[in-house]
Amino acid sequence: MPDYDSEGLIGAWAFDGAGSARRLGWADLRGGCDVGEQGFIWINLQLMDRRQQPWLQTDAGIEPGIADSLTAEETRPRCVLFDSGAFLNLRGINFKPYSLPDEMHSIRFWVEPKRIISVRTYPLSALGDFEEALARGRAPRTPGEFIADLSLRLVDRMDTVITALAEQADELEENVWSATLTNLSQRVSELRRVAIILRRYIAPQREALNHFSLEDAGWMTVRDRNRLREAGDRVTRFAEELDSVRERAAVIYDQMVERRAEQMNRSMQILAAVTVIFAPLTLITGLMGMNVGGIPGAEDPIGFWTVTVLAGAAGVAMVGLFRWVRWL
């Protein structure tokens, strides 16, 4: 069952600026909600068809271009600063059931001194945990603290997934010379694919967070800027870690190719040795098996065993010779 209503409202909260928050409904939003001098409002929406979100398009009181950015189908992380506020688009890794580790869903923010409007594409576990913290009475005091807190929650989930990728790369490096190449190849390809997809969204998110921390507004404190820079620094480290994972995956793949080539060379060497050993034996048995007169030992009762012993001795001698020259 969807966690939003017919107009896409997931939830709304009023913050008093002193660490407390209370839930709001459409009646409060449309009728006006007084949050005092220090308070602000957060309106959380689900991305839907624009015809199903008339409030965001007409009643929210924001510019059409900003409303279009909030409801765009596919966007990359970015930040745009305006005189009246700031637009911020972030991506988060989802820990919801049936979600893949490389799925980074978008959440967009329009931040004003007295109001924050967020639009999500899919449910995010970080956003759910944030709302649970609000229900327990742990509420941000300013819009800047709100964005900093939620950004760090998104970053924490990135840390979990990227650390798991690095550990998986360590395991593959240890098993590259012992595991079955067929099973290993699929795991290396998946590791590299996930690293590439995650980095595509994580790298621009670093720039978006750093740009947002430059917002010159009264609702952005020094502590909020430092926390946003901390989130940006951690995202930078994640991007570098993903580059490392991708390069390690390429090295592992090269080692797999080298191992496969060695196995093929070994097989060809054994096949060549078998061919060289049995070629003269085949020639001898072919000559002795011709159906013509004058074959030596044709009338000898032990002629067959004599030829067999000589052929076997020749084969053993050639094997010994190949081992002596280290060809086998």
> pLDDT tens across 199-219, in order?
888 888 888 888 888 877 777
Alpha helices in 289-302 (DSSP H): none
The reported pLDDT for the residue numbered 201 is 82
Which amino acid, one-letter code, is at 273? A
Place of tokens 């086998």: 328
Pick the range with the lowest mean pLDDT from 82-96, 171-185, 237-251, 261-275. 171-185
Average pLDDT value for residue range 289-293:
68
Residues 283/288/291/295 CA torsion (nearest 10 deg): 140
Specify burial of residue 42 (Cβ count, 10 A radius: 0-12, 13-18, 19+).
buried
- Residues 209 and 16: their CA atoms lie apart, in Å, by 25
User: What pLDDT sits at residue 297?
Assistant: 66
* Whole-number pLDDT of residue 110: 92
pLDDT at 109: 93
Q: Which domains does the chain have, with CATH numbers?
A: 9-258 (3.30.460.20), 266-324 (1.20.58.340)
What single string gives the DSSP state of each residue in 43-104? EEEE---GGG-HIIIIIS---HHHHHHHT-SS--SEEEE-SS-EEEEEEEE--STT--TT-E
Q: Which two tokens stand for residue 328?
A: 């086998």
CA–chain centroid gap for 214, Å, is: 29
Q: How far apart are CA 232 and CA 326, in angstroms?
A: 59
Q: Is the backbone of residue 22 left (phi > 0), alpha (psi -120 to 50) or beta?
A: beta
Owner of token pair 């944030």: 130
| Cα-to-chain-centroid distance, residue 192 | 8
Q: How far apart are CA 79 and CA 151, in angstroms?
A: 13
Output the pTM of the full model. 0.74
Mean pLDDT value across the chain: 81
pLDDT-derived band at 10, boundaries 50, 70, 90:
confident
The answer, yes or no, to whether residue 15 has pLDDT greater than 60, is yes
Of 222, 236, 250, 259, residue with least CA distance to 142: 222
| Confidence at 256, pLDDT banded by 50, 70, 90 | confident
CA distance 290 to 327: 33
* Half-sphere CA count of 58, side-chain side, radius 13 A: 6
- Lowest mean pLDDT, pick from 81-95, 155-169, 312-326: 312-326
The amino acid at residue 237 is: R
- Answer yes or no: is pLDDT of 126 > 60: yes
Q: Which residues of 298-309 are buried (b: 16+ CB within 10 A; e: fewer)?
A: eeeeeeeeebee
